[in-house]
Amino acid sequence: MTAPVPLTPTPTPAPTAAAPTPEPPLDGATVEVIRNYVGSVAEQMRRTLVRAAFNPVIYDVLDFGISLYDADLTLIAESAGITHFLGANDHAIAKGTEYVGVDTMAEGDVYLLNYPYWSGAHAYDAMLFAPVFRTGHERPAAYLAVRAHWMDLGAKDPGYVLDSTDMHQEGLIFPGTKIVSRGEIVRDIVELVRFNSRLPDLTIGDFHAQLAALRTGETRLKQVWEKFGAPVVERAMRQVIEHGERIARRAVAALPDGTWTALDYCDDDNITDDLIPMRVTVTIAGDTMTADFTGSSPAVAGPVNLPIGATMGIAKAIFKALTTPYEPSNGGHFRPLTVKAEPGSLFHAEYPSPTFTQWSAIVAFELIHKALAQVIESIPASSGGDEPGFMAVGYDPRAGSDFVISNNEGIGWGATREHDGGNAQQHPSQTTVRNTPVEVLEHKAPLFHERLELITDSGGAGRHRGGVGVLREVRYLAQAEVLSMKKKTKTRPWAMHGGLEPAPSGMVIRPGTDRELHVGMYRTTLAEGERFVNHTAGGGGYGDPLDREPSAVVADVLDQYISAEAAETTYGVVARPDGSWQPTPQRQARSTAPR
């Protein structure tokens, strides 16, 4: 169809105004000072949260993630926290602001988001987010996000849900609900949380701690704007983000181009006993990297499915470690990365798939490493491959109140081409997360520790040895539940270049009795006096054990990292108590054989 002819002559356009001259970039010193000031905002939010939190999962374990975003929802700073929480915050802030509507936000508003498919975590990892306004702007100039683990939001079971089959069994859900309006707490929402929680004092206390962290962040960020001028701060952070993208692309471009695939398994979904395949294909092309989880299991019946935000968090953490490990994070660092997963799959759960027990994310964390280990020599063997902790839930007659307490247990890290793996470390996905001190566990719950020790021979043997795992034996002083939290007990962590794979993690319930059970992820009640023994995997070995320096083998025997028997049969070294040694015939034959 021909456009109609205008009835009046087209007016002559006015002269075009000259384009404004682009502002010159800020000098490097100014940019670096401002970057550190903005980073300190996140750190001060972190300190406020830790000091104000009510539950030890936050103030001792450090189970949280804190992020700052500019007006375009680009990450400008974060504080140390759980790695894939931080990556998931990026997805969650975008979904949360989209749901709320930026134009509806006002100064002092705070929103609560735990809808798993948007938040990128399970329902108890509650994220509060808030806009930050500055003078002369009707829309937010920045956003703050604080995610932390709440102890109870009314799911079908206290503590942790191990066998849910849809989201509605996993607790009260908030899609971005306004919980503070123009600086005033919305009492109805807080009371809804209070009356749906088995542990309302802890839950509401932690809400206030997160709120205090947000208010600290808002105050400090406004002080930075006032000190330097908001436009200057925004220009500086744009330069930081652009620089972050440049150095990340440069790092990717230095890696070899190609495509590599890896496969691993999660134990099961706690509904069936079937192993769950997890597959990733990593492609490097020029200055870009793609992590594609196509080919993994479809979504399963039980609660080990991962929202796409969690999957993105896994991939971002590994990508960051490979490309810009020593740089404070910003959104530019992740622009060369693309993450793919089929909707409705294990790595892209959709409503109403259950997502509560996201140990699958921990098991899958090193999957990208496994793919790239085929070409990048600096990548270590697998760690113990899991976060094999425990949780205790029940009534404490000493305090006259209910309790929920948990512990993230250490594992061995994988050996590298340069050195042994670390002993009794938190899983690499947990970054700054800590275990819960024995004193806290025994103060908060009727538990008594019989043993806590490193496990001899638990690290995978190799030219460089995998780190060793941890054994913890606990006796119950009152009847309560124990939850064994682990999802890699049926397959071994992987080793590299002739190293040996370690035995997997596990738990023994009621050891030495006719009711003894060996379990992975499991929930049961223990009577007063009954015990469990939790044992964790060491890391994978790197290289042939017969190539390990004999002096290192002897030192390991003296330190009880390996037994004298293993030294002789696996490493070919007869170690004596005085530190002397002699080679076995197997080692002698290898040393004289042509290489």
Taking each helix axis as running N to C, give the angle between helix 28-52 and helix 200-228, from 0 to 180 degrees, rounded to the nearest 10: 160
pLDDT at 18: 53
pLDDT at 80: 86
Yes or no: say if 221 and 69 are a contact pair by the CB < 8 Å rule: no
d(CA 177, CA 112) in angstroms, rounded, equals 5
Yes or no: say if 417 and 378 are a contact pair by the CB < 8 Å rule: yes
3-state secondary structure 468-499: CCEEEEEEECCCEEEEEECCCCCCCCCCECCC
d(CA 130, CA 214) in angstroms, rounded, equals 7
Yes or no: say if 214 and 144 are a contact pair by the CB < 8 Å rule: yes
CA dihedral 350, 352, 355, 361 (to 10 degrees): -20
d(CA 483, CA 490) in angstroms, rounded, equals 18
DSSP E strand boundaries for 141-201: 142-149, 175-181, 184-185
pLDDT at 10: 35
Q: In Å, what is the CA distance from 499 to each residue of 380, 454, 546?
A: 11, 21, 10
Q: How buried is 297 (Cβ within 10 angstroms: 0-12 exposed, 13-18 middle, 19+ buried)?
A: buried
d(CA 233, CA 266) in angstroms, rounded, equals 45
Of the candidates 373, 375, 340, the one whose C-alpha atom is nearest the C-alpha of residue 257 is 375
Report the side by side order of strands in the sheet with 125-132: 75-79, 64-70, 142-149, 125-132, 110-113, 175-181, 184-185
Q: How do beta strands 64-70 and 142-149 pair?
A: antiparallel
**Token output for 477:** 């002083």
Query: For 444, phi and psi rounded to 5 degrees?
Result: -85, -15
**Token output for 445:** 């719950």
The enclosing H or E element of 202 equals helix 200-228
pLDDT at 594: 67
**Token output for 490:** 């049926």
**Token output for 462:** 């190799």
**Token output for 307:** 């929202």
3 state DSSP class of 408: coil
3-state secondary structure 52-66: HCCCHHHHCCCCEEE
Per-residue confidence of the chain (595 residues) as pLDDT tens digits? 333 333 333 344 444 555 566 778 999 999 999 999 999 999 999 999 999 999 999 999 999 999 999 999 999 999 988 877 778 999 999 999 999 999 999 999 999 999 999 999 999 999 999 999 998 889 999 999 999 999 999 999 999 999 999 999 999 999 999 999 999 999 999 999 999 999 999 999 999 999 999 999 999 999 999 999 999 999 999 999 999 999 999 999 999 999 999 999 999 999 999 999 999 999 999 999 999 999 999 999 999 999 999 999 999 999 999 999 999 999 999 999 999 999 999 999 999 999 999 999 999 999 999 999 999 999 999 999 999 999 999 999 999 999 999 999 999 999 999 999 999 999 999 888 899 999 999 999 999 999 999 999 999 999 999 999 999 999 999 999 999 999 999 999 999 999 999 999 999 999 999 999 999 999 999 999 999 999 999 999 999 999 999 999 999 999 999 999 999 999 999 999 999 999 999 999 887 766 6
d(CA 583, CA 595) in angstroms, rounded, equals 18
d(CA 470, CA 276) in angstroms, rounded, equals 26
Give the residue extent of every domain in the chain. Answer: 28-246, 380-543
d(CA 110, CA 92) in angstroms, rounded, equals 14
Of the candidates 327, 363, 305, the one whose C-alpha atom is nearest the C-alpha of residue 488 is 363
| Alpha helices, H only, 53-137 | 56-59, 83-100, 116-119
d(CA 125, CA 86) in angstroms, rounded, equals 12
Positive or negative CA dihedral for 250, 251, 254, 259?
Answer: negative
d(CA 551, CA 186) in angstroms, rounded, equals 66
Q: 209 — alpha (psi -120 to 50), left (phi > 0) or beta? A: alpha
Tokens 């960051």 correspond to what residue?
A: 320
pLDDT per residue as tens digits for the range 102-145: 999 999 999 999 999 999 999 999 999 999 999 888 999 999 99
d(CA 41, CA 222) in angstroms, rounded, equals 10
pLDDT at 332: 98
Contacts for 485 with CB less than 8 Å, ≥ 6 apart: 160, 359, 387, 388, 389, 390, 391, 406, 521
pLDDT at 8: 35
**pTM given for the model:** 0.93
pLDDT at 19: 56
DSSP E strand boundaries for 240-381: 258-266, 276-285, 288-292, 337-340
